[in-house]
């Protein structure tokens, strides 16, 4: 798997978890103190999120970071 593929899979996983929570991108952005465009870029695989950004997102979604990353291989 290359970098772009990994970024895309992480983004898809965040979309999945966010929609399960019934949240919009704006809801998630507010919950983790980011702007909606930052969440959009992460979800679309346009940026390489830091581990801290992923931690902030998982905390906002009230899930462990390991759950966010599960199934990404």
Residues 16, 34, 58, CA angle at the centre, nearest 5°?
40
pTM above 0.85, yes or no: yes
CATH number of 3-68: 1.10.260.40
Q: Is 30 left (phi over 0), alpha (psi -120 to 50) or beta?
A: alpha
In sequence order, which residues have a C-beta less than 8 Å from that of residue 73 and are 6 or more positions away?
1
Q: Where are the domains of the chain?
A: 3-68
Per-residue pLDDT tens over the stretch 6-27: 999 999 999 999 999 999 999 9
**pLDDT band with cut points at 50, 70 and 90 for residue 71:** confident
């Amino acid at each position: 798997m290359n970098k772009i593929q990994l970024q895309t899979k992480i983004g898809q996983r965040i979309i999945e978890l966010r929609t399960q929570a019934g949240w919009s991108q704006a809801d998630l952005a507010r919950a983790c103190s980011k702007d909606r465009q930052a969440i959009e870029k992460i979800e679309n695989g346009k940026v390489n999120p830091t581990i801290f950004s992923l931690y902030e997102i998982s905390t906002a979604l009230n899930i462990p970071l390991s759950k966010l990353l599960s199934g990404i291989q």
